[in-house]
Structure 1
Amino acid sequence: MAIENLNSLHYTSQEKTIVANALATIEGSLAAKFKNLTPEERTKYGSVNEQNKLVINKVKDFRTNQPALSSPDIDWVEFQNDVDSREFVQSIIARLESLASSLKNNKILHDFDCYQAALTDYDFSKYKVGTKAAGFQVKVNELAQFFKKSGTAKTENPPEKEIQ
């Protein structure tokens, strides 16, 4: 027996609307702060690696605990604002990445369920062609294009699975 219905929990119209509205609110709240970087700028500015994050944190600690040792050439209010913003953004990124991972897992299960049902329907349609039932030959011909023939055998191989 084939594995079917790996995920039978479905989203209601109300849940879809709530999520879409929440995402629109998040996007609207953040959009004014977004900056588009060119590929060159992304390379130029890069991201701060773990070692450099330690440097930032150590300077922040010194600024907090021994401000007399801090450079007068730094706008420390702006520095603290940058620190606060990067910590906020990082926490949001972590939450969104976790959410995206969960959604991808959920989608994989729904994709699998859909694909198994489609294969069952294709097999049913091929059976109906064998019984000379009207209309099924066109359907089988249309679906057959998605299956590769291998060698001289008439075994059909399902298409490669795509995970997005």
Structure 2
Amino acid sequence: MKNFLKSIVTAIAFSFTFFGLVHTAQAADDGAKVVYHVDFKDPTRYSATLTSINNIMNFYENELMEPEIHLVFVGFGLRFTTNDALKGTPYEHDAALLERRDELKGRLDALMNVRGVKVHLCDKTRDEVGLAKDKVYNGIELTTSGVAKIAILQSEGFSYLKIQ
């Protein structure tokens, strides 16, 4: 009888532990979904965004989680999606961006093509300045409305991050 009770207690303890781990893993997986918002023109702030994306991906991967990261460009964020100088527009490239453009483009390319980050550009912003679609970096998906894309992702459980 003593062994029987011991077996029951062990089984109950195992059940609580197992179901607790399943719940924790499920909650962790839900937290591995993040959308970053770039609507600013500062290359240093954008660089910090790219670093943050890399860091959060490293964290999730170290926790054996598969992160799903989206990066959405709106407004001034357009500057970081093209080599076009955007002359005559509010988004025109300046010396600070031109100095770092190749480095930033390379880092974005690595996040998209090596790390699997999904990148979106607001097509409304692109169209507003008359930037041809073929001038946007390869791999960037055009979305009808960048802010709507962010709202949709948030409604699907994505956490919203914007680097200040």
Judge same fold: TM > 0.5, yes or no: no
Structure with the bigger percentage of helix: 1
Which has a greater percent of strand? 2
Work out which structure has the larger RCO, using CA pairs closer than 8 Å and 6 or more positions apart in sequence. 2
TM-score, scaled relative to structure 1: 0.34
Q: What TM-score comes out, normalization by structure 2 length?
A: 0.34
User: Which structure has the bigger radius of gyration?
Assistant: 1
